Structure 1
Amino acid sequence: MFELWLDITDIPARGREFSFSDPSLWEAPIREFGLPHRLDPQDSPRAEFSVVPQRRGVLVQGRIAGRVVTPCDRCAEDTVVVLDSPFEFYEELPIAGEQTLETSLVRRRGKVMELDVGGMLWEQFVLAMPVKPLCSENCLGLCPGCGRNLNTGSCDCGGPGGDPRLAPLRGLRVKGSSN
Structure 2
Amino acid sequence: MTTMTTPKASPVFSVCVYCGSKPGKQPEFAQIAVQVGTWIGAHGGQLVYGGGRNGLMGLMAEATLAAGGTVVGIIPTALVEKEWAHHGCTELHVVDTMHERKRLMADKADAFLALPGGIGTFEELFEVWTWRQLGYHDKPVGILNSLGYYDGLMAFIGQVVQEGFMGEWQTELVTLGTEPEALLQTLVQKAGFSPRAKVELI
- TM-score over 0.5 for the alignment? no
Q: Which has the higher strand share?
A: 1
Q: Which has the higher helix share?
A: 2
TM-score by length of 2: 0.20
TM-score by length of 1: 0.21
